[in-house]
Structure 1
Amino acid sequence: MPTITTQVAIIGAGPSGLLLGQLLSKQGISNIILERVTGEYVLGRIRAGILEQGFVDLVHEAGVGERMQREGEVHDGFEIAVYGQRTHIDLKTLAGGKTVMCYGQTEITRDLMEARQQAGLQTYYQSSDVALCDVKSDKPYVTFQHQGESYRLECDYIAGCDGYHGVSRKTIPEDLRTEHERVYPFGWLGLLSDTPPVSEELIYSKSERGFALASRRSATRSRYYLQVPLSDKAEDWSDDAFWAELKKRLPADAAAKLVTGPSIEKSIAPLRSFVCEPMQYGNLFLVGDAAHIVPPTGAKGLNLAASDVATLCKILARVYRDHDKACIDQYSQIALRRVWHGERFSWWLSNMLHDFGDTAISDMDSKTFERFMNSELDYYLNHEEGRKVIANQYVGLPYEDLQ
């Protein structure tokens, strides 16, 4: 079995694994990425595109921000429409000058892939039978299969960036991890189209027929979502049926401007809140979806992964630069603090904007719950203090420094 060595083994070549690899390489820390599928498959995943400033800064720090800066759209705000009444959330004013950027996750991933390839950094795509071994020891290693051959990858640390279904989280013994989960009784049907977006800014819309989101990728490409039952399948929805339903859920003035066209992609994503504690086990660190998943309502999924990456990079830089291994134990505590803030905001926004039908929530019947949520919306949207809370959470809380 051939043996290869590196300082940090990264499991998963999604945006968090690629960003981590690029940042570590910039600091002279060697890394190798193992990915289960092909690079083309990774790029085929359609995901969100709202980036907090912290994420944008990390991409620039990694030296991969040129196309993002050129093609990405800075958004100063967004709208929340409740039964047709639109309220503007002025991020720049309410959040002390902070904004977000609209740039698709697929494009971020493509940029990071190309930068890694140009730098000659090693990625093993289509790796199988990945196993993380001796992660509690000072000499962890990873075994895997690639192109019919078995390999042993020796390293100092392992970053598990392999998502909810990956091997990394499952490496932590079941009795040593606590998993918190809430599965929502609906999903999001998303449609991507080469049509001009209905609005310059995102519109989150609560209607009598359920939730809808009018999003965008560029001035010529749109991304729209509808709340649908979990029993629905994307193939059951024709393009015409999607556009007709979207028009009924958007405010009338927005619906009148809607430009329709053939879909590029349609898919349904279930909504889930999930957190694994701790996010660290020995010299294994969980990053992004391997440790936490949020409903897409708050645009926090990729951004929380980025804050994990930022924290882990600070720790590994101190380890290799200052030979300070004591800081390693800070990872889970720092990362989880921001994760729980993001989880709470996404849960709260999801509760307020979606129709739960006859589903009982906690100890409330559905009608009582709906009255509470409408009261929440009324307060937060019609008082500046409430809008400030939404704005500051939406642009993202500051990254935390090491002690």
Structure 2
Amino acid sequence: QSKKKSGTKREKVVLGCDRRQPPITAGPRKPKGEGHNRSGTGTGCSFSVVIHQSPDALSWEEGGVDKPPAVDFIGKILDVEKPDLVILTGDQLHHDISDSQSAIFKVVAPLIDRSIPWAAVFGNHDSEGTYTLSRTAQMSILQDLPFSLCQSGPEKVDGVGNYYLEILAPAPSQRPLSTVYFLDSHEQIPSKVHNPDYDPVKQSQIDWFTTTSQSLQKARDQDDNDSRVHLSLAFLHIPIPEYGDRSLIIRAGYRREPTEGPSFNSHFYDALAKEGVSALGCGHDHVNDFCALLPRKQKDSQHNSRENPQLGPWLCYGGGSGFGGYCSYGWRRFHRRTRVWEIDTNTGCLKTWKRVEYARERVDELVLVEGGAVVPPCDVDESTGIMATLLRDCVVS
């Protein structure tokens, strides 16, 4: 936030890497009438995130515009929500922009102007084309900009931009309350299986995520005084194959186009579930904007039944907020939108909603996690037709 009240306890964001700089602080949210519904005990241990699902935020035409529509739109959302952190989930640029650096500056200008910490992952279009800067070159720009938390990540891990952030409790505690992971989902690849097809999350990335998660968990376990529920989220650009699973229980949004992701399943979802990540957020498919859960029981590719040990993670799209790419699938126009996440570390609650073009109020507000546990969906989108799964997963009081 751009303004902080003196004497107010703050949370702190720290980098999960070797960057040598003081941690960036983030203040508590304002009351509902000022952009947020503050929850918890009033100790300041809550955190809000605005997701800028950027699909092609700036096209080659908008690269020369002083104030592109996407920049204006995200600025209005920031003024309403006043978030503690903004996450750019890829395709900040349309493919083959001749001046990547100027376009990047325009995309992040609203964040810097408002002194909001921000992080980013790359999308498939960000480094496409003859003139566009490489991911490595773009990251070297991003990580040195004001309020940036971006990092290249370990060199031995595939991709650029595999890193994590920890949200810390107010001083003097400084305990980790939440962890946010960021992963590179790579680019489009030649394929005889599917067109278009994309590189999957690589095994080196899964190993890095698992090792990091377990190391952080071990450190938290050694703190006998840490009784808070720890919530973790993860973000990448291209959806993993589970987003396209026909058995998904869809809540608070719609599937308006087919999921477009890698044909090969590297089972990153299983690693997320095993490590207890609450939700995975992605971009890429511009007009999908739902959150969904896989049922406890599902069939694999050989039609064998397998049971997930627990519900989750939630799989959430943000919907497109950029004006440089397509905004419809079929005859109906899609209004731009952003997803907002609210983490209440006092109660172990994770809530989400969307801000949509022309809508004054929150849209599709949904509680994903309560008391640290994934909330089962108690109604289901009729298009999925999974009533048996629904009844099995819901608890009737």
Please give the range of the TM-score, normalised by the shorter of the 2 chains. Answer: under 0.3
How high is the TM-score relative to the length of structure 2?
Answer: 0.22
Give the number of the structure whose alpha-carbon radius of gyration is greater: 1
> Could you say which structure has the greater relative contact order, defined with CA pairs below 8 angstroms and 6 or more residues apart?
1
How high is the TM-score relative to the length of structure 1?
Answer: 0.22
Structure (1/2) with the larger helix percentage? 1
Structure (1/2) with the larger strand percentage? 1
